[in-house]
Structure 1
Amino acid sequence: MGVAAACSVSAATPVAARAASANVAALQIALAGAGLSPGPVDGISGPQTQTALQRFQARRHLLVDGIAGAQTRRALGRRGRPALGHRPMRLGTRGWDVAALQFLLRVRGYGSGGLDGGFGPGTLAAVQRFQQAAGLTVDGIAGPSTLAALRRLQVTPTPTATASGPVRFLRPVSVAFTDGFGYPGGRRHTGLDYPLPYGAPVAATGVGVVAFAGWNSGGYGNLVVVRHRLGFETWYAHLSSITTSVGASVSGGTVIGHVGSTGHSTGPHLHFEVRQFGTPIDPVPYLLTASAARNVPVAGGAAAPCRPNADARQTQDTDPLVARIDRCP
């Protein structure tokens, strides 16, 4: 993980954010709503979030300290309040707490259809799906019991998308994946891991526009995100190098980077995700037989010396802490 910025989201004593946090995600959503760009909403206070926060503080003539304290939260208006847990959230409520709720739902596998701080029909449906899966009263109100369950329980997501839609993707590479989507080994994994030699080319899996191309401090390392139609995105993580840029148009087979082991990775491989409206979904039903790399030569063998784990942060979308760079568990 990259060096975390000292970015507090508490209205009281500021503390550094060192792991994925719903409050940091709420800050990222608030900054995006203010017209700034904190990077992907990942709940990690990295350099992009820090820069966006400091720009906001400078714009509002606040102390530019990179800390989202009480004054900064007030300056964010309704996007900066109230704190998560200060009120039950229901259809029609808006604010910082709703944005944090949406992030918690997303990392549990219950996407709300957007991360915007507004409790609309999508968030209502996501809350109800989670409540049902967690054995709670299904009332669509995110009160203390629902928040407590979101913070502690791992429940199997109710599918929110099926493979019957019109969107399909080429397979990212021509080799078989090792770790799959879901709970391999009892831990949450949000994509597919493909073992490949260091430097092997990585190609986009379909027509789209590059939405992010750079460093992700939350464990993905060098990351490219391609935005497709109907709310779909594909994510390509742990790259050794990136050969595209934000705003670039791509199609199936366009080389966007090369395989690496950046971020929290135990060896060279591609971590590939498909997301719809920000929620990771199983890529397999959406993959065609053909490979995006069918015309891209890959030198050397395709197999890694041992099965890699993609990430090492102890959050809901990563691998266990036993994974370390250059050592397989």
Structure 2
Amino acid sequence: MTHGPKYEPSAAEKIFAWPIDMTLASFTPGSGFGPRRIMGTPPGEFEDHFALDIGAPSGTPVYAPADAVVDVARPDGEGEAGGGNQVWLRHKDWLTGYFHLRDAPLVSEGDVIPAGTLIGYVGSTGNAGGDHLCWHTQLTRGGQALAMNPRQVMRDYGRS
């Protein structure tokens, strides 16, 4: 099987910054993107986790990683089962989600916000086993949506 050349994003496509201060971040086994064991189930049962769990102290600020329109700003108990307080941001060709925020979102649906806008604080609302930010990144082009590993997104589409 042959593959074409690897796609290299242009400088204009490199729009993202990390949503929290990564000097405060920690990662634990099972917190990454992809299959992971479901807590409380027999060995061998897994679920797909289309996000990256970034451990950080409660109250750590969470910022918009790029210019965006607030697509969803939802308090705990509404919508996504277990996601707690959450925000979804729409960027040019991307949709990003921020789950388990400590308090109700600090932005409202329809807000147009620049990169670096404070959207909430790390917490453990919803179905969370501790304080962390669950960060979802999804490429949306041509009517298609593809969940992508946030670490890969930052490697390929992160601002220098």
Q: Judge conservation of contact 2:26–2:56 (CA < 8 Å) in 1.
A: no
Q: What residue is the counterpart of 1:237 in the other structure?
A: 99
Answer 1 or 2: which has greater strand percent: 2
SS of 1:188's equivalent in the other structure is strand
> 2:15 & 2:27 partners in 1: Cα distance?
18
Higher helix content, 1 or 2: 1
Equivalent position of 2:146 in the other structure: 279
Of residues 111, 116, 127, the one that matches 1:264 is: 127
Cα deviation code 1:138-162 (max 9, x no counterpart): xxxxxxxxxxxxxxxxxxxxxxxx8
| Aligned position for 1:113 | none
- Output the CA distance in 2 between the equivalents of 1:163 and 1:245: 35
Count of residues in correspondence between the two structures: 128
- Identical amino acids, percent of aligned pairs: 34
Partner of 2:40: none
Alignment gaps of 5+ in structure 1 = 1-161, 291-329
Structure 2's unaligned 5+ residue stretches are 1-5, 38-45
Q: Distance in 2 between matches of 1:273 and 1:228?
A: 13
* Aligned equivalent of 1:210, options 70, 91, 99: 70
CA gap 1:181/1:163 in 2 versus in 1, 3 angstroms? farther
**Match among 150, 169, 188 for residue 48 of structure 2:** 188
Which residue type is aligned with residue 238 of structure 1? H
- By relative contact order (CA 8 Å, sep 6+), the higher-ranking structure is 2
Structure 2 counterpart of 1:201: 61
- Tell me, in whole angstroms, the C-alpha distance in 2 between the residues paired with 1:227 and 1:250: 10
TM-score normalized by the length of structure 1 = 0.36
| Structure 1 residue matching 2:48: 3-state secondary structure | coil
CA radius of gyration, larger in: 1
Q: Is the 8 A contact 1:177 1:192 kept in 2?
A: no
What amino acid is aligned across from residue 149 of structure 2 in structure 1? D
Query: Of residues 87, 103, 110 in structure 2, which corresponds to 1:247?
Result: 110
User: Could you tell me the TM-score, scaled by structure 2's length?
Assistant: 0.71
Contact 2:34–2:50, Cα closer than 8 Å, also in 1: yes
Residue 163 to residue 254, structure 1, CA distance change in 2 (3 Å): farther
Structure 1 Cα separation of the partners of residues 60 and 134 of structure 2: 13
Deviation at 1:246, TM superposition (A): 0.9
What is the deviation of 1:289? Answer: 6.7
- Counterpart position of 2:8: 164
Distance of aligned partners of 1:285 and 1:267 in 2 relative to their CA distance in 1, 3 Å threshold: same
Aligned partners of 1:181 and 1:192 also within 8 Å: yes
1:233 Cα deviation after fit: 0.7
Q: Matched residues in 2 for 1:276 and 1:196: separation?
A: 25
Measured at CA, do residues 163 and 258 of structure 1 come closer, stay the same or move farther in structure 2, by a change above 3 Å?
farther
What displacement does 1:239 show? 0.6
> Could you list the per-position Cα deviations for residues 52-78 of structure 1 after superposition, in whole angstroms to 9, with x for gaps in the alignment?
xxxxxxxxxxxxxxxxxxxxxxxxxxx
Please give the per-residue CA displacement for 1:149-193, whole angstroms capped at 9, x wherever unaligned.
xxxxxxxxxxxxx87332541112212444111124443111110
Q: Structure 1 residues 282 and 198 mapped into 2: Cα distance closer, same or farther (>3 Å)? A: same
Give, in angstroms, the shift of residue 217 of structure 1: 4.1
Q: Where do 4+ consecutive residues of structure 1 move more than 6 Å?
A: none
Considering only aligned residues, what root-mean-square deviation do their CA atoms show, in Å? 2.1
CA separation in 2, counterparts of 1:276 and 1:164?
15
Measure, in 2, the Cα distance between the counterparts of 1:180 and 1:286.
Answer: 13
- The 1:226–1:273 alpha-carbon spacing in structure 2 relative to 1, beyond 3 Å, is same
Alpha-carbon shift at residue 285 of structure 1 (Å): 2.0
Q: How does 1:116-127 map to 2 (within 5 A)?
A: none
SS of the equivalent of 2:102 reads strand
Q: Is the 8 A contact 2:17 2:65 kept in 1?
A: yes
